[in-house]
Amino acid sequence: MNCRVLFTGLVSVFLSACAGTTPVPTATATATLFATPVPLPTFTATPVQLDLRVTGELVNCRYGPGTVYELVNELEQGESARVVGRNDAFSWWYIRDPGNPNGYCWVSAGVTELLGTATQLPVAPAPPVSVTNATLRAEPDRIVVGCSQFPQTIFLEAEITTDGPTFVTWKWEASTGVSSEKAIMVFEGAGTQVINDYYQIGAPNDYWIRLHVLEPTELIRQVNVPVSCAP
């Protein structure tokens, strides 16, 4: 699945404490899929519960009702499960995860056989999508140069992961007290998007840079980059 990234404005962070430093920001992004177990949504049990049998050879059980949601478990042909809900279109069943007695996940109706009347099942809402992980690294993570060798460049790579389709709002923050404009990443499905950026600094100092994820889940990741020089 392809993921797109939209930016609301230019990313601009001044990382130097001295005058005359010129930041040179750029940003690119790529996307990859992932399959990492995450906490499952809770469900209030109702008296109406049905059984199903898996008819497909190997069936995915997902975080939400659709292939755009994160993969939680896989069910083998002939395996049984307890159905506790459905989506509006009767195309996905909300089941007790056979691999996790306290968890739930969604399976496609097209690869299962429901033992009972589907209209008896309550409609289960799709789970809220969240940012499940974020990472940030700097290269180099320490700079020691001659004092005449400025400006120096710090390269940044960040990864943001979600468990379903959503809009992620984020920005850069720096130890100098300034921050970038907010940017928006569009996730068409569960996955990871990569942000590459770089900045020039013009003086020695102990810098930190933060990736601040604002929505739909607030997360902060920080790297520290000490910069020193010798005459």
What is the separation of C-alpha 85 from the centre of its chain, rounded to a whole number of angstroms? Answer: 26
pLDDT digit string (tens) for the chain, length 231 residues: 434 333 333 333 333 333 333 343 433 443 333 344 444 445 454 458 999 999 999 999 999 999 999 999 999 999 999 999 999 999 999 999 998 988 999 999 999 999 999 999 999 999 999 999 999 999 999 999 999 999 999 999 999 999 999 999 999 999 988 899 999 999 999 999 999 999 889 999 999 999 999 999 999 999 999 999 998
pLDDT digits (tens, 9 = 90+) for 49-64: 999 999 999 999 999 9
Structural tokens at position 161: 């992961």
pLDDT at 55: 97
pLDDT at 11: 36
Structural contact between residues 212 and 160, judged by C-beta atoms closer than 8 angstroms = no
d(CA 208, CA 224): 4
Domains and their CATH numbers in the chain: 4-35+129-230 (2.60.40.10), 50-120 (2.30.30.40)
Structural contact between residues 159 and 193, judged by C-beta atoms closer than 8 angstroms = yes
Beta strand pairing call for 131-139 and 143-146: unpaired
pLDDT at 224: 98
Structural tokens at position 208: 């930190």
Query: What percentage of the chain reaches a pLDDT higher than 90?
Result: 74
pLDDT digits (tens, 9 = 90+) for 120-133: 999 999 999 999 99
Structural tokens at position 211: 């990736």
Question: pTM for this structure?
Answer: 0.78
pLDDT at 47: 54
